Amino acid sequence: MTISGSSGDVRWSLLEYDELADAYQEHVEPEFRADGHDPTAEKPTHAWLRENGFRTLLYTLREHHDTTFGTFWSEKLGYSENEAAEGYEWAVDDEATVEALESFLDSRRNRGDLSESSIKALRGRLNRYVRAYYAATGEDAVLRRVDPGGDVPAHRATDAAWAAIDRLDADDDLADRTVARIHEAASHWYDYLLRRQRASVNPVTGVGEEYNWDRQTDGDPVALDATHVRALTNATETVAERLLVIALCGWGLRSGEVAGLHASQFALDADPPFVAFDERKNGPGEVSLLYGVDVLEDRLTELSEREEWNGHLFPSSQSSSGHIANQTVRNRFADLVTRTGLPSEIGGEPPVPQMGRRFWYSAYSEAVEDVAESIEEIAAEQGSSDSTVVLENYLSDERARQLRREHMREQLREAFD
């Protein structure tokens, strides 16, 4: 199929996967280059694509080809971003270990569509793990004991890896949540190597069961975790259902707020886009939309094509308010839970929409910690052991907010995608 004309003339949803690549290079790359970017070395953000009229490309990749833009960009077009890894000093010198670490980060950058700020935080956690491994074992060849062609018993590989985690856990300068996230990064790295037949075992599997890092106290409200949110998202069958999950878990809205959402509340041209409320209990009047704007736009397009539409995102002809009731949101959420096969109880309680809101707050808390971790090197250079000093004295309020948004956006993307 020959593609010609302006970007607005391209019928992305009608193109085969190979044709999408041709159309991308003909229409997207020239505009990206005109904006001062190198289209073969820099990956356009979702925001840039939407702002420049390529929202339908994102929708087509997701809905018609079951893939992400990051995967399309790296695997189909064959491009990569490698500049962030240059010059980084790993805590070990073993070439095989460093290559395996960088290979994992490249995969998360391209296939996982992570931003460079999130890659930097992940690299820092992995470096702490291999540093602890070297300190605990005296070996910088971290993969020697898990080599599929080696003869080291699995229990010895596990003992060495657990010794590294024990060393991190004993460090009084590291919070429990930080150690848990270092362990999570190491576990994902080993899983990546297992999938590629480059490791015989994940030696840190089950470590978290031995500690109290992530366990809630009796007084903590129960929240969904990322696996629950991902399962709910995968169970959705319509744009409306997907938007309901995003509004609860990705925007942190209450059931009543979701039920009454109206098109007039959204400022999609703002940076970042937001939804505004005239009155809101225990929360800001504006909520930034760091994830799910594409689904929101799909829903608005879907509703605008109706002969009659009152502007509500979840309209109801049976209600005097013009929109669905709070209980309907709860019922639809319960239907998704049943369809998903989530446990009947999470933390001793049945899954309810409020747990989605609590997930949002938990993700935001982790994003704040990500920012603190990402600037620890700056803090060290300033002679401070406390990264909050850098946040307060060296970063503007706007820059600090921007960093939190970037990390929060990645937290949400990992959960939903």
Tens of pLDDT, residue by residue over 195-247, are 999 999 999 998 877 877 754 444 456 889 888 999 999 999 999 999 999 99
Give the closest residue to 373 by CA, choosing from 92, 118, 116, 85: 118
In contact, 291 and 409? CB cutoff 8 Å: yes
Tokens (6 digits) for 219:
């007084």
Angle of helix 326-340 versus helix 226-235 axis, rounded to 10:
90
Query: How many folded domains does the chain comprise?
Result: 3
Question: Alpha-carbon Rg of the chain, whole angstroms?
Answer: 23
Is 193 found in the same domain as 318?
Answer: no
Is 393 found in the same domain as 318?
Answer: yes
Is 242 found in the same domain as 384?
Answer: yes
State the average pLDDT for the chain.
Answer: 83
Query: Which pLDDT value is given to residue 99?
Result: 92
Is 324 found in the same domain as 179?
Answer: no
What is the end-to-end Cα distance of the chain in Å, rounded? Answer: 31
Give the closest residue to 108 by CA, choosing from 188, 213, 200: 188
Of the given ranges (12-26, 110-124, 197-211, 356-370), which has the lowest mean pLDDT?
A: 110-124
Is 95 found in the same domain as 66?
Answer: no
- The C-alpha atoms of residue 125 and residue 141 are separated, in whole angstroms, by 18
In contact, 130 and 100? CB cutoff 8 Å: no
Is 184 found in the same domain as 43?
Answer: no
CATH number at residue 246: 1.10.443.10
In a domain, 133, yes or no: yes
Of the given ranges (54-68, 270-284, 367-381), which has the lowest mean pLDDT?
A: 367-381
Is 406 found in the same domain as 280?
Answer: yes
- The C-alpha atoms of residue 74 and residue 107 are separated, in whole angstroms, by 9
In a domain, 134, yes or no: yes
Query: Which pLDDT value is given to residue 206?
Result: 85
Q: Which helix (H) or strand (E) holds 128?
A: helix 116-137
Is 318 found in the same domain as 197?
Answer: no
Q: How many CA atoms lie within 13 A of 317 on its CB side?
A: 2
Mean pLDDT on 57-84: 76
In the chain, % of residues over pLDDT 90 = 41
Is 158 found in the same domain as 117?
Answer: yes
- Residue 86's pLDDT band, with cuts at 50, 70 and 90, is low
pLDDT tens sequence across 98-129: 999 999 998 888 776 666 667 777 888 899 99
Residues found in the chain: 417
Query: Higher model confidence: residue 79 or residue 364?
Result: 364
Query: Which pLDDT value is given to residue 4?
Result: 39
Among the three residues 15, 41, 76, which one is the final residue of a domain in this structure? Answer: 76
Is 221 found in the same domain as 91?
Answer: no
In a domain, 66, yes or no: yes
In a domain, 1, yes or no: no
Among the three residues 76, 110, 131, which one is the final residue of a domain in this structure? Answer: 76
pTM as predicted: 0.54
Among the three residues 76, 103, 132, which one is the final residue of a domain in this structure? Answer: 76
In a domain, 340, yes or no: yes
Is 362 found in the same domain as 234?
Answer: yes
Is residue 373 predicted with pLDDT exceeding 80?
no
Query: Which pLDDT value is given to residue 290?
Result: 93
In a domain, 34, yes or no: yes
Query: Higher model confidence: residue 345 or residue 239?
Result: 239
- Residue 64's pLDDT band, with cuts at 50, 70 and 90, is confident
Of the given ranges (77-91, 288-302, 337-351, 374-388), which has the lowest mean pLDDT?
A: 374-388
Strand order in the sheet with 266-267: 266-267, 274-276, 286-288
Mean pLDDT on 276-301: 85
Is residue 20 predicted with pLDDT exceeding 80?
yes
- The range of the structural domain enclosing residue 384 comes to 216-417
In a domain, 2, yes or no: no
Is 142 found in the same domain as 235?
Answer: no
- Residue 8's pLDDT band, with cuts at 50, 70 and 90, is low
